[in-house]
Amino acid sequence: MICFSKEDIFLVTGASSGIGKEIALRLNSLGASVLANGRNEERLQKTKSMAAHPENFFLEARELTENIQELPLWVKNLKEKYGRLKGLISCAGVIADQPLQVLDESTGKKLFDVNYFAPVFLAKGFADRRVYASENASITFLASISAFLGEKAQTFYGASKAALIASAKTLSHELSPKVRVNCISPGPIDTEMTNRAVEIHGHSNISRCTLGIGNVKDVSALASFLVSHEARWITGQNYILDGGYI
Amino acid sequence: MTIKEFLVELQDSLQREDELLLEMALRELPEWDSLAMMSIVVLFDKHFGQKLLFSDFEKFKTVKDLVQKAGLL
């Protein structure tokens, strides 16, 4: 049974919706303290209202792409405010469906800022010796099966997630044995973000999930395992969690 | 850059809690490893336009040696 104490502090980005929200809530329900990050304080408040232990659920609204270079300092300041961090779970991400003929440079750069550069610079802040907890510290990045699928219109999205997976591998080597670094690559999960994409493209691809479309709880279950002591020997891995999609 | 500013930069590159002192032996610092050396190579390139080699580090015994290499002493 996985459980945490309130001294186990996790920074979860993208915590106002979808997978990030569910991971933040599950870790909190398992006893951990959660620093929930999202762009919008109001939406974070909504997440907090669902928390099992709201007294250990703290809101840290910030637009992560506003000043990426300063993100390490922000993480360091969180440590000053709350104490050493046990884990970083980076869930904030955006999708852009763009076939080659309408591919737009500025969209691509913005997408890489959110999906790649911000997570890496958050990791830089977290992996500072003065920030992470001495026992079983870990970083978990939310990637995507789009990194390998080569689906149409995912030129930038797939690349941003593939980049993240590649960097996670490097970081796992650089930071071993102090900090474990892993990725989760979900397939289609029932979230607002996926549903919007499904609306645009129809349901045809979802039928490839032999176990049906995934639920955010399927992802939070794996995430809470990966950040727990049970996973102390796991680093540098990317877990495909796709209900049989690939 | 002053010596003090350099020491702060160096401390940050090594992700060290405590201040660095000139007489400290580099190899006795708990933060000292190959990534620390690579970080110092980057620091020298960025701030002083100097391209250090790993073999240069054989000559650096103390923090003071790095300060001298940076031309601050």
- For chain B, say whether A130 makes contact (Cβ under 8 Å): yes
pLDDT beyond 80 at B5: yes
Which domains, ranges and CATH numbers included, belong to chain B? 3-69 (1.10.1200.10)
Among candidate residues A19, A89, A59, the one with its CA nearest the CA of residue A241:
A19
Task: Determine contact, residues A154/A105, Cβ cutoff 8 Å.
Answer: no
Probe site for chain A from B15, B18, B35 (most A CB atoms < 10 A)? B15
Q: What is the pLDDT of residue A192?
A: 81
ipTM for the complex shown: 0.77
Amino acid A48: pLDDT: 98
CA torsion A37-A43-A45-A50 (nearest 10°) is: -100
Q: What is the pLDDT of residue A1?
A: 83
| Domain range summary for chain A, segments of one domain joined by + | 9-241
C-alpha angle B34/A9/A82, rounded to 5°?
95
| pLDDT at residue B3 is higher than 70 | yes
Contact A129 B15 (CB under 8 A): yes
Strand A87-90 with A137-142, pairing: parallel
Q: At what angle do helices A18-29 and A216-226 cross, to 10 degrees?
A: 50
Helices first, then strands: H and E counts in chain B:
3, 0
Q: What is the pLDDT of residues A8-54, one digit of tens each?
A: 999 999 999 999 999 999 999 999 999 999 999 999 999 999 999 99
Q: Name chain A contacts of B35, Cβ cutoff 8 Å.
A: 174
Tokens (6 digits) for A145: 């099966």
What's the confidence (pLDDT) of residue A202? 58
Q: Which residue of A has its CA nearest to B18?
A: A130
Q: What is the mean pLDDT of chain A?
A: 95
Each residue of A194-212: pLDDT tens digit? 777 766 665 567 778 899 9
Contact check, Cβ <8 Å, B15/A128: yes
Least Cα separation, residue A130 to chain B (angstroms): 6
Q: What is the pLDDT of residue B26?
A: 97
What is the per-residue pLDDT for A204? 60
Specify the pLDDT at position B46: 93
Please check whether residue A92 is in contact with residue A14, taking contact to mean a CB–CB distance below 8 angstroms: yes
* A124 interaction partners in chain B (CB closer than 8 Å): none
Q: What is the pLDDT of residue A97?
A: 85
Residue A235 has pLDDT above 90, yes or no: yes
State both tokens at B63. 């923090």
In this prediction, residues A166-184 reach a mean pLDDT of: 98
Nearest CA in chain A to B34: A174
- Closest CA in chain B for residue A175: B35
* Cβ–Cβ under 8 Å, residues A88 and A131: no
Residue B4 binned pLDDT confidence (cut-offs 50, 70, 90): very high
- Cα→Cα distances B32→A10, A186, B17, B23, B67, Å: 28, 38, 13, 15, 16
The arithmetic mean of pLDDT across residues A164-184, rounded, is: 98
Quickly list DSSP for B34-49: HHHHHHHHHHHHHHH-
For A9-241, CATH number out of 2.60.40.10, 3.40.50.720, 3.60.21.70, 3.40.50.10470 equals 3.40.50.720
pLDDT in tens, B6-52: 999 999 999 999 999 999 999 999 999 999 999 999 999 999 999 99
Does the CB of A70 have a partner CB in chain B at under 8 Å?
no
Query: Given pLDDT bands bounded at 50, 70 and 90, which one contains residue A193?
Result: confident
Assign A102 a pLDDT band (cuts: 50, 70, 90).
confident
Q: What is the reported pLDDT for A194? A: 76
pLDDT at A228: 98
CB of B21 within 8 Å of a chain A CB? The answer is no
